[in-house]
Amino acid sequence: MNVWDWNFAGQIIPALLNGLRITLIATVLGSLIAFVLGLVLAILGRGPRPVRIVVRAIVEFIRSTPLLVQVYFLFFVLPAFGVVLPALTVGVLALGVHYATYTSEVYRAGIDAVPRGQWEAATALSLPRTRVWTGVVLPQAIPRVLPALGNYVISMFKETPLLIGIGVLDIVGQVREVGGQSFRYVEAYTLAGLLFLLLSYPASLAVRRLERRRAVR
Amino acid sequence: MDNLGTFLSVLSQGLPFTIIATVAGILLTIVLSFVAGLALMSSSKTVRVISRIYVEGLRGTSEVVQLFWIFFALPVLVGFQIVPIWAGILVLGLNHGAYGAEIVRGAVQSVPRAQVEGAIALSMTPAQRMRRVILPQAVVEMLPSFNNLFIQLLKSTALLSFVSINEITRQAQQVLVPRFNPQAFQIFLLLLVMYLIMSLVITAIMRTLERVAAARVGRKPSARSRSQATGAGIA
Amino acid sequence: MPSVEKSGADPMIAFDGVEKRFGDNVVLSELSFTVAPGEHVCLIGPSGSGKTTILRLLMTLEKCDAGTITVGGTSLSHMEKNGKLVPADEKHVRDVRKRIGMVFQQFNLFPNMTVRGNLVEAPTRVLGLSKDEADARAKELLDLVGLGDRIDSHPTQLSGGQQQRVAIARALAMRPDVLLLDEVTSALDPELVAGVLKLLSDIGSSTDITFLCVTHEMGFARDFSDRVMMFDGGRVIEDAAPEKLFTAPEHERTQAFLHAVVDR
Ligand SMILES: Nc1ncnc2c1ncn2[C@@H]1O[C@H](COP(=O)(O)OP(=O)(O)OP(=O)(O)O)[C@@H](O)[C@H]1O
Ligand SMILES: [Mg+2]
């Protein structure tokens, strides 16, 4: 038996692409949650002291524990509360919440980097609080943090395969099935790895370009 | 909560695997980070290219894929199966070492040029300059980022449950949940708390090291916290 | 010690047709001068005229684009191998460097070592002195610079003036033939300047080290040096004994420069 069978490699391609579709869906939806929830956490993190402490504790807890366990947690615990969701939805939720704790730190750094004078100027104009955020602070903070957010999207993309733990058929889930049927793992996992590299390496080069163009912090 | 004792004892059976994988993974990560990080700055182009391929290759492919590759593809290529826990440690170390290499490179390059020139003016060899002057100062810069990286590594040990290593996540998911399904909430909460405690231990150790290292270069402990180091984009 | 006396000996430092460019910016061109053994030479001139660059070339922190530089008769850029002149390797450069010490404007002490560590590091590792020898030398030098009681301090616990004294001691610990000083007092608070300059004068008069100093302290240049070289636009425009250069400068650029400096 040859170590590498081109014929078989060719047969895997459709499964890979099928899995890629799921992986991309999970990444895009997960990122959306992470972007929005992270911003909420970052803004709450600047709220009154009790809120700040609770938010920080939650963020630390989620950041310090494995995403896989959080995925299991949601998958096995939600039904007990009568919430039965498809595995992919659970996965997206877990990815989004987990990465929101990372993005909240990114936003926090970006917000901290907005000069104090900007807040003071906005206050001097008696702008309402929400307008200070949406009109003055965030438009300055968010462009600065785009590269860091981009890096987390790439990280999330590479972490979606752990959703196979709850039966989501992403790239790895697909090739695991195909490889398992014929006991040909070399082609399956090598191609899966190359597919990840093919997408994430150019993406991280693009982020680095963006990083160099905008001075981050 | 009457089953708490059972939960604890079943999870504890997995603890040695989690701890061994974490500690050995961290040690391998440190070695690879320094070797690859210094190689990234080598004067030899070949060495630079090889280390760059290692770093980008391991950062660019998914850790789960790397794990399956070493468990299922590598044995076909080399003709034998590595002891699972060793293979697990190898993946953890190789993967996080690639991230650590960039930490080492960044920290070494952040040491002011004037320090190097001070050492040149004393006729030190390039190796002496690196070992005696640059690295001791760079290590102070690296520690907060390494703290993050080690916690990422601890979290990654949960992936070893995919390849039948009986660490704590697998104990919970394969042993406890099938038996006590209605109590999944308690089981996973307990599991999460165990991880939290281990990452607090890592942070406590790293903070102590940061203080010691900062004192050795005559600085107050750095204000840069672990979370800020993450904000800079290490994931 | 007037320079005339020494002109018969081989020079300690010799620049011959040296050119240095940074990109398109020609910083030094066709620069030639010599410094005799034991001579004290000060370089003065406006900012950006290339004074630091000269010291950095000597310390091999920069490479020159044309011409040759020799220290004690040994070329910095070339060495003899099987009777042929070949580009210098790292070891050759290091051997020349051992004869040269340098004190920087910003001190450049190693923060990861104590004062003692800073002083014994290179003597033990580069010169191969035993720990005890290096330690004795460190103590002796720290006494000389007036910091005998600070041997176990961290550089960051010292004032700027004290750090600069340690840096001077560190350079002397290598027993250099040549000492390069680049504006060693310009990062110091005004009240600390005099003490450091006094220390340098004492060292100058009690050793036979060859000094090449860049300074903006005209009083120091006048008292300390045997010769002063005025730089402008990458060339020496006036080279004379301090008595002459400071009282009756020939070149009008020198006059203008001295005016500007004294008026400050
Ligand atoms: N590393 C470098 N890269 C590019 N240009 C440089 C570099 N170092 C020095 N230069 C340029 O070389 C010229 C001479 O610099 P140098 O530092 O030798 O001047 P200087 O006489 O010591 O001035 P100062 O009195 O301000 O210290 C300047 O125009 C400077 O901009
Ligand atoms: Mg200068």
pLDDT tens for B32-48 read 999 999 999 999 999 99
CATH of the domain at B19: 1.10.3720.10
Cα gap C76→C70, rounded to integer Å? 6
Intra-chain end-to-end CA distance of chain C, in Å: 31
The yes-or-no verdict on residue B235 having pLDDT over 70 is no
- Phi, psi at B2, each rounded to 5°: -70, -15
Residues 6 or more apart whose CB falls under 8 angstroms from that of B98 comprise: B32, B36, B54, B55, B56, B57, B58, B59
Residues 6 or more apart whose CB falls under 8 angstroms from that of B214 comprise: B140, B220, B221, B222
- Phi, psi at C226, each rounded to 5°: -90, -25
pLDDT, tens only, C125-156: 999 999 999 999 999 999 999 999 999 999 99
Report residue A177 CA to chain centroid gap.
25
Inform me whether the C-beta atom of residue A42 falls under 8 Å from chain B C-beta atoms: no
Cβ-in-10-Å burial (0-12, 13-18, 19+) of B225 comes to middle
The yes-or-no verdict on residue A70 having pLDDT over 50 is yes
Cβ–Cβ < 8 Å for B201, B154 = no
Residues 6 or more apart whose CB falls under 8 angstroms from that of A147 comprise: A207, A208, A210, A211, A214, A216, B233
pLDDT, tens only, C206-253: 999 999 999 999 999 999 999 999 998 888 999 999 999 999 888 889
The yes-or-no verdict on residue B181 having pLDDT over 50 is yes
pLDDT, tens only, C190-213: 888 999 999 999 999 999 999 999
pLDDT at C238: 92
Which residue of B lies nearest to C95 if distances are taken between CA atoms? B123
Residue A111, helix vs strand vs coil: helix
Weakest mean pLDDT among B24-28, B110-114, C1-5, C67-71: C1-5
SS (H, E, C) chain B: CCCHHHHHHHHHHHHHHHHHHHHHHHHHHHHHHHHHHHHHCCCCHHHHHHHHHHHHHHHHCCHHHHHHHHHHHHHHHHCCCCCHHHHHHHHHHHHHHHHHHHHHHHHHHHCCHHHHHHHHHCCCCHHHHHHHHHHHHHHHHHHHHHHHHHHHHHHHHHHHHHHCCCCHHHHHHHHHHHHCHHHHHHHHHHHHHHHHHHHHHHHHHHHHHHHHHHHHCCCCCCCCCHHHHHHCCCC
Inform me whether the C-beta atom of residue A105 falls under 8 Å from chain B C-beta atoms: yes
Residue C238, helix vs strand vs coil: strand
Inform me whether the C-beta atom of residue A38 falls under 8 Å from chain B C-beta atoms: no
The yes-or-no verdict on residue A9 having pLDDT over 90 is no
Cβ contact (<8 Å) for B63 and A64? no
Rounded mean pLDDT, B150-155: 98
Decide: C165 in ligand 1 pocket, CB within 6 A.
no
pLDDT, tens only, A21-48: 999 999 999 999 999 999 999 999 998 9
Inform me whether the C-beta atom of residue B122 falls under 8 Å from chain C C-beta atoms: yes
Asked if the structure places residue A166 within a domain, the reply is yes
Rounded mean pLDDT, B9-29: 97
Cβ contact (<8 Å) for B231 and A172? no
pLDDT, tens only, A183-202: 888 989 999 999 999 999 99
The yes-or-no verdict on residue B13 having pLDDT over 70 is yes
pTM for this prediction: 0.89
pLDDT at B100: 97
Mean pLDDT of chain A: 92
Cβ–Cβ < 8 Å for C136, C151 = no
Between chain C and chain A, are at least 3 CB pairs below 8 A?
A: no
Residues 6 or more apart whose CB falls under 8 angstroms from that of A143 comprise: A214
Cβ contact (<8 Å) for A176 and B68? yes
Rounded mean pLDDT, C55-81: 92
- The four Cα atoms B92, B98, B100, B104 give a dihedral, to 10 degrees, of 150
Residue to substitute from C60, C112, C120, interface B, most B β-carbons within 10 A? C112
**More reliable by pLDDT, B147 or A213:** B147
pLDDT, tens only, C7-57: 456 899 999 999 999 999 999 999 999 999 999 999 999 998 999 999 999
CA angle C109, B141, C167 (to 5 degrees): 0
Asked if the structure places residue C121 within a domain, the reply is yes
Rounded mean pLDDT, B192-220: 93
Angle between helices B45-60 and B4-40 (to 10 degrees): 150
Query: Pick from A64, A192, A201: which is nearest to B65 by CB?
Result: A192
Q: How far is B35 from chain A (nearest CA, A)?
A: 22
Report residue C255 CA to chain centroid gap.
25
Inform me whether the C-beta atom of residue B60 falls under 8 Å from chain A C-beta atoms: yes
**Residues spanned by the domain of C129:** 112-159+166-171
Go through chain B and tell me how many residues it has.
235
Q: How far is A115 from chain B (nearest CA, A)?
A: 18
Domain count, chain A: 1
Token code pair at residue C80: 């003899």
**Residues spanned by the domain of B33:** 4-233
**More reliable by pLDDT, B147 or A214:** B147
Between chain A and chain B, are at least 3 CB pairs below 8 A?
A: yes
Domain count, chain C: 1
Inform me whether the C-beta atom of residue A4 falls under 8 Å from chain B C-beta atoms: no
Q: Which chains touch C (3 or more CB pairs under 8 A)?
A: B
Cα gap B52→B101, rounded to integer Å? 10
Residues 6 or more apart whose CB falls under 8 angstroms from that of A191 comprise: A9, A12, A13, A16, A175
pLDDT at C81: 85
Mean pLDDT of chain C: 91
Dihedral over Cα of A11, A12, A15, A20: its sign: negative
Rounded mean pLDDT, C81-102: 90
Query: Pick from C97, C106, C171: which is nearest to B114 by CB?
Result: C106
Token code pair at residue C187: 């990062």
Grade residue B192 by pLDDT with cuts at 50, 70 and 90.
very high
Cα gap C221→C262, rounded to integer Å? 13
* Residue with CA closest to ligand 1 atom 31: C48
pLDDT at A215: 54
Q: Which ligand is nearest to the CA of C54?
A: 1
Token code pair at residue C216: 């903006």
CATH of the domain at A76: 1.10.3720.10
Rounded mean pLDDT, B134-146: 95
Rounded mean pLDDT, B213-234: 60
Grade residue C181 by pLDDT with cuts at 50, 70 and 90.
very high
Cα gap C144→C131, rounded to integer Å? 20
Asked if the structure places residue A204 within a domain, the reply is yes
Cβ–Cβ < 8 Å for B104, B138 = yes
Rounded mean pLDDT, C55-69: 93
Mean pLDDT of chain B: 91
Grade residue B136 by pLDDT with cuts at 50, 70 and 90.
very high
Distances, alpha carbon B88 to alpha carbons B64, B77, B198, C78, in Å: 11, 18, 19, 53
Cβ contact (<8 Å) for A148 and B233? yes
**Residues spanned by the domain of A137:** 6-216
Q: Which of A174, A214, A202, A179 shows the shortest CA–CA distance to A21?
A: A174
Weakest mean pLDDT among B4-13, B171-180, C80-89: C80-89
